[in-house]
């Protein structure tokens, strides 16, 4: 039930509407915990019902309305409680690797395209994580600045350090994925002979 904690994490900076929350899921929380609106709106209602959030209905223009959600003390407690739990290591399914297990049943061209796509995928994710890590370390990420503003300056270094550390883990994982896929491409060359295509590196 980590969607709940992702929401608590965002709202611990400042109260906002579900719609605003969606933006934060795109840029920051979504790097580790993507979620769409079909998940967020009902969850906000449940969290309100469970006493983790309090909503105030604010007018929007003349007739419009919006619900601004804020953490309750119970919500802040729950966020802290969750952060103090051990690592949530579920059973890890690995569909990408699992499929490779059956690559003897494919053409080498498919195997090459597969690993190339894997590399592209993790290059893109790596870039997103690295960009965010830089913004965190430079303390230029606006959402981080808002968070730091609510905290004692003594704590700032640690707040920044842990967020950067998490992103570093994701980056290291991406690097491992890319390195593996590159070794895989070599292995395919070894198994089938070197590919004819100019292996266009980019």
Instruction: Tell me: does residue 177 bind a second copy (CB under 8 A).
Output: yes
- Is the CB of residue 171 less than 8 Å from the CB of residue 177? no
Q: Does 61 interact with DNA (rule: CB under 7 A)?
A: yes
Site for a second copy contains 96 (CB under 8 A) = yes
129 burial class (0-12, 13-18, 19+ CB within 10 angstroms)? buried
Q: Which of 49, 89, 93, 190 binds DNA (CB under 7 A)?
A: 93
How many angstroms from the chain centroid is the CA of residue 92? 17
Residue 22 or residue 148: which is nearer to DNA going by CB?
Answer: 22
> What does 61 interact with, of a second copy, DNA, none (CB < 5 to 8 A by kind)?
DNA
Based on the shown chain and the rule CB under 7 A, indicate whether residue 51 belongs to the binding site for DNA.
Answer: no
Strands of the sheet with 64-71, listed across from one edge: 16-17, 64-71, 53-60
What residues contact residue 162 under an 8 Å CB cut-off, 6+ apart? none
Alpha helices in the chain (DSSP H): 2-11, 18-27, 37-49, 73-83, 95-100, 108-137, 142-149, 153-192
Residues that bind a second copy (CB under 8 A): 2, 5-6, 9, 29, 32-34, 79-80, 82-107, 110, 113-114, 117-118, 121, 125, 155, 157-159, 161-163, 165-170, 172-173, 175-177, 179-180, 183-184, 187, 191
Residues that bind DNA (CB under 7 A): 1-3, 17-20, 22, 34-39, 41-42, 44-45, 60-64, 66-67, 90-91, 93
């Amino acid at each position: 039930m980590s969607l709940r904690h992702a929401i608590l994490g965002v709202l611990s900076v400042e109260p906002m509407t579900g719609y605003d929350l969606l933006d934060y899921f795109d840029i920051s929380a979504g790097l580790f915990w993507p979620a769409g609106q079909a998940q967020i709106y009902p969850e906000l209602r449940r969290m309100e019902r469970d006493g983790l959030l309090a909503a105030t209905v604010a007018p929007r223009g003349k007739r419009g309305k919006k619900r601004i959600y804020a953490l309750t003390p119970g919500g802040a407690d729950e966020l802290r409680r969750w952060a103090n739990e051990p690592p949530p290591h579920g059973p890890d399914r690995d569909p990408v690797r699992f499929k490779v297990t059956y690559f003897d049943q494919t053409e080498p061209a498919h195997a090459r395209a597969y690993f190339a796509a894997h590399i592209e995928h993790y290059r893109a994710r790596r870039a997103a994580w690295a960009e965010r890590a830089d913004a965190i370390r430079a303390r230029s990420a606006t959402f981080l600045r808002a968070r730091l503003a609510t905290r004692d300056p003594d704590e700032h270094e640690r707040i920044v350090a842990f967020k950067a550390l998490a992103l570093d883990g994701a980056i290291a994982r991406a690097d491992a994925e890319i390195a593996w896929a590159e070794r895989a491409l070599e292995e395919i060359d070894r198994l089938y002979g070197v590919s004819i295509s100019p292996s266009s590196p980019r």
